Amino acid sequence: MDDRVILHCDCNGFYASVECALNPAYRSVPMAVCGDPESRHGVILAKNELAKAFGVQTAETVWQARRKCPELVLAPAHHKKYREFSEAVNAIYCQYTDLVEPFSIDESWLDVTGSRTLFGSGVQIANELRRRVKKETDLTISVGVSFNKIFAKLGSDYKKPDATTLITRENYRQVLWPLPVGSMIYVGKVAAEKLSRAGIDTIGQLAQADETLIERLLGKAGMAVQLYARGEDEEPVRPAGAEREVKSVGNGITFRRNLEGEEDVRAGLLMLCDTVAARLRRYGLCCQTVQVQIKSPQFKVISRQRQLERGTDLSRELFAASMELVRQNWDLRAPIRMLTVTAAGLGGKDSGEQLSLFADQAVLAQREKQRQLETAMDRVRSKYGEGALSFASLLKTDIVSKSQGEKLRVEGSEGPDSPAGPPEQ
């Protein structure tokens, strides 16, 4: 049987490229897209090639970037425009195959195995997509062509910008195995450090390592990553429009000022738990696990989670669990820059709880009353807008700006992965 032909298409410097397409003057100066510095979202989200030449990096702070490039021009983020460009690019992909699976706003996998009779080889299709995307949207893409999704992704990362890289069964050991192990998808900084301490620094060393060692270091997830490094990935590309299984629902925010004391922390957590619970109800899901991630002004991050006694989609119960996690693991006198709340261990409303015959009927009645209240709030917000109702304790707080509050309502993370906070933006 012939191998599949999988493409991974990645828009180069997506946010910055969109801004340059909207304002061509940005093309002649080093520029970067960042959040609102006045709301303390002073983090670089994307940069153009001129800024990259100065060493400006995504996710570093604005002041760090300006130390490298004093002439750096900053552009505010326009998320609505980014979604529009993303939809336009994916519409082009869909003209070549119906198997188009977005991986993020600027990345998609395509299975073009059945498209070769009409459009040529995988490399020919990749080059045609690069040409059309550039002509029709003024953006550039890098494309990896391979026999599975993971290697196609590594191929698109291999050479940028505006490039096609072919990874075959014959060349993947020469091309991919010398790369740092941290280049592997799903191998984060912590996992890479664990592997490095065991003498595993490249993808090839990961592929050839003792399986027992990898499981001991990284658990079952490590075993899966090792199979990926060996090219043993058979995961299909989902059809365009197919919904991914949601395994976690989270929301995080960098506050306009540091949270100081319990009152601030309670307000921040309540705000986040309200939005996470609303998303759970929208999906018809309950969670069994709550995770809280805390970031200090010095960018120190801790993440803690706990199992719940019963599955829930109620903001009050998410808040109680989150507040307990913070109290147990953080000195409330210490300032907090960012909080993230993630609900995991998801299941249907009837799958998360087994009630005892002797369950406290008063407790059950109170939970049902709370669910009716929060569901009623969902209906009001759906009809009159997300800002139509809020908790009284949040009305006087100044920890978020109006724009942050609106963004918190419409943007979060619903993903197929294990609990993890969204990146700071």
Q: What's the rounded Cα separation, in Å, for the pair 423 and 425?
A: 6
Q: What's the rounded Cα separation, in Å, for the pair 26 and 284?
A: 44
**Of the listed 107, 317, 414, 424, which one is catalytic?**
107
Residue 107 is among the residues annotated as catalytic for this protein: yes
Q: Is the dihedral of CA 344, 78, 139, 120 positive or negative?
A: positive
Nearest to 34 by CA among 68, 1, 66, 67: 66
Angle at 250 between CA 187 and CA 364, to 5 degrees: 130
CB proximity list for 223: less than 8 A, separation 6 or greater: 211, 214, 215
Q: What's the rounded Cα separation, in Å, for the pair 132 and 415?
A: 30
CB proximity list for 47: less than 8 A, separation 6 or greater: 13, 16, 30, 31, 32, 33, 56, 57, 58, 65
Bridge-partner residues for 290, per DSSP? 306, 343
Q: Is the dihedral of CA 111, 117, 123, 128 positive or negative?
A: negative
Report the catalytic residues.
Answer: 107
